[in-house]
Amino acid sequence: MDKIIIEAPAKINLTLDVKGKRDDGYHELETVMHPISLVDRLTLTKADDDIRIESNCELLPRGKNNLVYQAAKLFFEKTGRRAGVNVFIEKNIPIGAGLAGGSTNAAGTLLGLNNLYQAHLSPEQLWGLACQLGSDVPFCLIKTSALAQGRGEVLSPLPKIDKLNFLLVKPDFHIATPEIFKKLNLSEIENSPDTKAFLIAWQEYDIIRLASEMVNVLEPVSSAQHPEISAIKNMMKSLGALNAIMSGSGPSVFGVFTDLTQLKNAYQHFKQNYNEVFQVSSYVRRE
């Protein structure tokens, strides 16, 4: 096998709580992460040497700044293989959006190279490499809903439930995650998620309760800089979403819908003003 195609799904945070600041500068998180059907496709082709990146997306860095490059470099270092790879990234996930687009590409690269080069790295070894690449990368390896704690790398997979349906809107600006964490004042958090209640609603597949327990403590910080986030959220709710919140550090906003006609109408509404609007559902792993 000289070539492999990997699906790399985006994630949304159905809850996001920050429990404290750590000595290493990161924050202690408690967040329910959920992969969605908005996917990038990575085509990895064996090469003799070097790591080359191409993409349909012009904005994407091709060199060492791309997490795909860093993931491939780490893989070759860890396995001691003197080889290279050409990676074509079919980019569908918006960049700088709070959807883990870069992280899921890095995770996909690790999974793909492990397969392509028959390296037999164990899930634990891949997890170790993922932790070095970023806080969201370990989650992106498992492609299934999970409670993430610690920096984001301590994962407890959740039981499978039927698909949820979402509208996702990415306004036309980027947000830098470190800035938002820096601006977050833990003593000023007014509304944090009741993660236990959310997980009970999940177990019972009580969508109304599950939606009402969706809270992201980073949202007020990002919305203060960009009031458009709150405007999108409120509009989604008025168009029929059971609830709508920001994903990650933003700026993407998603709403949960049970009525597919309302979802379609809301999609049409937002499409009039935004380029990046997606009707998505929970990601279903193929393998």
Q: How far is the CB of 176 from ligand C5P (least distance, A)?
A: 8
Nearer Cβ to ligand C5P (151/269): 151
3-state DSSP assignment of residue 4: strand
Q: Do 195 and 15 form a contact (C-beta atoms < 8 A)?
A: yes
Nearer Cβ to ligand C5P (193/255): 193
Which of 208, 192, 225, 175 minimizes the C-alpha distance to 30?
192
Nearer Cβ to ligand C5P (89/207): 89
* Alpha carbon distance 136, 42 (integer Å): 18
Is 136 a residue of the active site? yes
- By CB under 6 A, the residues from 181 to 240 that bind ligand C5P are 181
Binding flags for ligand C5P, 8-37, as an x/- string (CB under 6 A): ------------------xx-x--------
Nearer Cβ to ligand C5P (85/218): 218
Is 64 a residue of the active site? no
- Sign of the C-alpha dihedral computed for residues 133, 130, 132 and 175 taken in this order: positive
Catalytic residue among 17, 40, 91, 136: 136
Maximum distance among all alpha carbons in the chain? 56
The tokens describing 9, both together, are 């799904």
Q: In DSSP terms, which residues pair with 36 in a beta bridge?
A: 282
Q: How far is the CB of 126 from ligand C5P (least distance, A)?
A: 17
Q: How far is the CB of 97 from ligand C5P (least distance, A)?
A: 13
- By CB under 6 A, the residues from 158 to 177 that bind ligand C5P are 177
| Alpha helix stretches (DSSP H) within 143-194 | 177-183
